[in-house]
Chains A and B, each alone.
Chain A
Amino acid sequence: MNFTTVIIAVVVLAVLGAVFGLVLGFAAKVFAVEVDPKEEAVLGCLPGANCGGCGFAGCSGYAAAVAKGQAPVNSCAAGGEAVAAQIAEIMGVSAGAMVKQIAQVHCTGCGQNYKQYEYVGLHDCVAASKVPGGGDLSCSYGCLGLGSCEKACPFDAIHVIDGVAVVDEEKCKACSKCVDICPRHIITLEPYKTKRHVTIPCSSHDKGVDARKVCDNGCIGCSICAKNCPKEAITMVDNLAVIDYEKCIGCGICAQKCPRKLITVDGKVPEVKPAAPKAAPAAQPAAPKAEEAPKAAPAPEAPKAEEVPKAETAAETKE
């Protein structure tokens, strides 16, 4: 008696399930609508929890938005890094025409040697930027090095190394989470390796004199790079050289000419060949840094241009 009830229950439920399955299968054929294959692929990666954590109504809403390029690939908190990577792959492959970008931190971290006070507080840039003086750095533009970007990165692609955030170019998916969180706004997205990647890792809008006081190789606004650029790709914005990547051809002349040895090509400061032959081989460690700063401060910009590189090689070669 009991056993038959069980069998009947199972049979009834199975029959119902089968009927619904057939109806749905049939309906899927009859009511088939063309869907963007990308959207389906993205939906396939998502956990399907329909939690709404991404701000869209359910996983399919989010998938549709991602497929249309209206949503970032890493909004799925439930899926986390793995799902974000999968979606990025789907969208990355499909967006083949788009230039791959990576985050670039515009600071060399040199300013860590020049602190205005000792910061004791939450180990977080956003918190540090709220205290008077905007953190312990004398440079009011430099990387605070407390790792807010590191915490924000869903791909584990940015790390604070020796007091400055460094982007892991392989892992970076250009989601711009770090760009948004950085209280000093020194991270930007830049096109990556379409040609030689020239970048100016400094955000200081200070005048040359002030920039020298707080940093060993920050941009002093001398505009030598801008004048030497054959494509006029570099403009001076408030005492800071800024590269227009639409125009930049990656020739690296600016990096050769930079008196502060700041500009990098594919992550390295190139050896200076013609301009200062005596300066190039002399790469002695550590010592010149200390004496350079006071000497540099009072003098005007122009005459210093050839003197500084000598001192600078030490700081740069370790990078």
Chain B
Amino acid sequence: MGFDFANLFSVALGAILVNNFIFSQFLGICPFMGVSKKIDTAAGMGIAVTFVMGLASAICWPINELLLHFDLAFMQTVTFILVIAALVQFIEMFLKKSMPSLYEALGIYLPLITTNCAVLGVVLQNTQNSYDFITSVVYGITGGLGFMLAIVIFASIRERLTFSECPKAFEGFPIALMTAGLVALSFMGFSGLKVF
């Protein structure tokens, strides 16, 4: 059990900092650029992504076992897309009915997550790394937290960017993309980090 914790910690730290989904794996860039204009909405998106990633990891683990049982590993991508889409739809309906306040807070971001490649990415990586159930869920949640960290940092920078003067040609998305690149560079500083 002690070993497990160390392992989980290592997986979590890796997912948040070292293998950050956005800054080192470049997954989920679309919502990262699209929903990062304000810190509030960015945090909402981050929470929603964390939520879905965790749940998707949990749901997809038994389904992956099922696929492996039938020797259908090559069907993973298709199946997971199906699972995630259905899952997000279900969560949306569930939240709308039972937790309207939470739905209001992140409901509008949920449909966007259906096609978020970070979610598919986390599930596929779970299977590639042959994580067990607990590790999968931890990897999913911490991956989402990493996404949230990235998007909130980026949103706070971008809020400042709108007030700063920059050359006409760079206004808007170009400067945002360059900033994202610089932040990604700084995240490379974590790449030497090892907790084993």
Q: A60 with B72: in contact, given A16-B79, A28-B93 (CB under 8 Å)?
A: no
Residue of B75, B78, B82, B108 touching A20 (CB-CB under 8 A): B82
Which residues of chain B are near A230, meaning CB under 8 Å? none
Which residues of chain A are near B109, meaning CB under 8 Å? 57-58
Interface string of A1-35 (1 = CB under 8 A from B): 00001001100110011001101100110111100
Instruction: Tell me if B63 is interfacial: C-beta within 8 Å of chain A.
Output: yes
Residue of A12, A17, A21 touching B70 (CB-CB under 8 A): A12
Instruction: Tell me if B129 is interfacial: C-beta within 8 Å of chain A.
Output: no
CA distance A27 to B91 in the complex (A): 10
* B86 in contact with A24 (CB, 8 Å): yes
Instruction: Tell me if A133 is interfacial: C-beta within 8 Å of chain B.
Output: no
- Closest beta carbon of chain A to B56's beta carbon, Å: 13
Instruction: Tell me if A288 is interfacial: C-beta within 8 Å of chain B.
Output: no
* B112 in contact with A58 (CB, 8 Å): yes
The listed residue with most B CB atoms (<10 A of its CB), out of A27, A52, A57, A58, is A57
Instruction: Tell me if A86 is interfacial: C-beta within 8 Å of chain B.
Output: no
CA distance A8 to B67 in the complex (A): 10
* A31 in contact with B97 (CB, 8 Å): yes
Which residues of chain A are near B72, meaning CB under 8 Å? 5, 8-9, 12
CA distance A59 to B114 in the complex (A): 13
- Closest beta carbon of chain A to B108's beta carbon, Å: 4
- Closest beta carbon of chain A to B112's beta carbon, Å: 5
Instruction: Tell me if A61 is interfacial: C-beta within 8 Å of chain B.
Output: yes
Q: A24 with B82: in contact, given A9-B75, A12-B75 (CB under 8 Å)?
A: no
* B83 in contact with A20 (CB, 8 Å): yes
A contacts with B, residue count (CB < 8 A): 25
The listed residue with most A CB atoms (<10 A of its CB), out of B66, B79, B93, is B93
Q: A31 with B93: in contact, given A9-B75, A12-B67, A61-B108 (CB under 8 Å)?
A: yes
Residue of A17, A23, A30, A60 touching B97 (CB-CB under 8 A): A30
* A8 in contact with B70 (CB, 8 Å): yes
- Closest beta carbon of chain A to B105's beta carbon, Å: 12
CA distance A237 to B108 in the complex (A): 46
Which residues of chain B are near A61, meaning CB under 8 Å? 108
CA distance A202 to B67 in the complex (A): 74
B contacts with A, residue count (CB < 8 A): 27
Residue of A12, A20, A50 touching B86 (CB-CB under 8 A): A20
Residue of B41, B70, B79, B112 touching A50 (CB-CB under 8 A): B112
**Interfacial residues of chain A within 273-307, with CB under 8 A of chain B in the complex:** none
CA distance A8 to B94 in the complex (A): 32
* A58 in contact with B111 (CB, 8 Å): yes
- Measured CB to CB, the nearest residue on chain B to A17 is B82
The listed residue with most B CB atoms (<10 A of its CB), out of A21, A23, A27, A61, is A27
- Closest beta carbon of chain B to A273's beta carbon, Å: 59
Interface string of A190-221 (1 = CB under 8 A from B): 00000000000000000000000000000000
**Interfacial residues of chain A within 34-90, with CB under 8 A of chain B in the complex:** 50, 52, 56-61
- Measured CB to CB, the nearest residue on chain B to A8 is B70
- Measured CB to CB, the nearest residue on chain A to B103 is A33
Which residues of chain B are near A20, meaning CB under 8 Å? 82-83, 86
* A13 in contact with B75 (CB, 8 Å): yes
* B70 in contact with A16 (CB, 8 Å): no
* B97 in contact with A33 (CB, 8 Å): yes
* B86 in contact with A33 (CB, 8 Å): no
Beyond A16-B63, A27-B90, A56-B108, 6 additional pairs, beta carbon < 8 A = A9-B70, A12-B67, A13-B75, A33-B96, A58-B109, A58-B112
9 intermolecular pairs with C-beta atoms under 8 Å apart: A8-B70, A12-B79, A13-B82, A20-B86, A27-B94, A30-B97, A31-B94, A32-B97, A57-B41
Minimum-distance CB pairs A-B, first 5: A31-B97, A20-B86, A57-B108, A31-B93, A61-B108
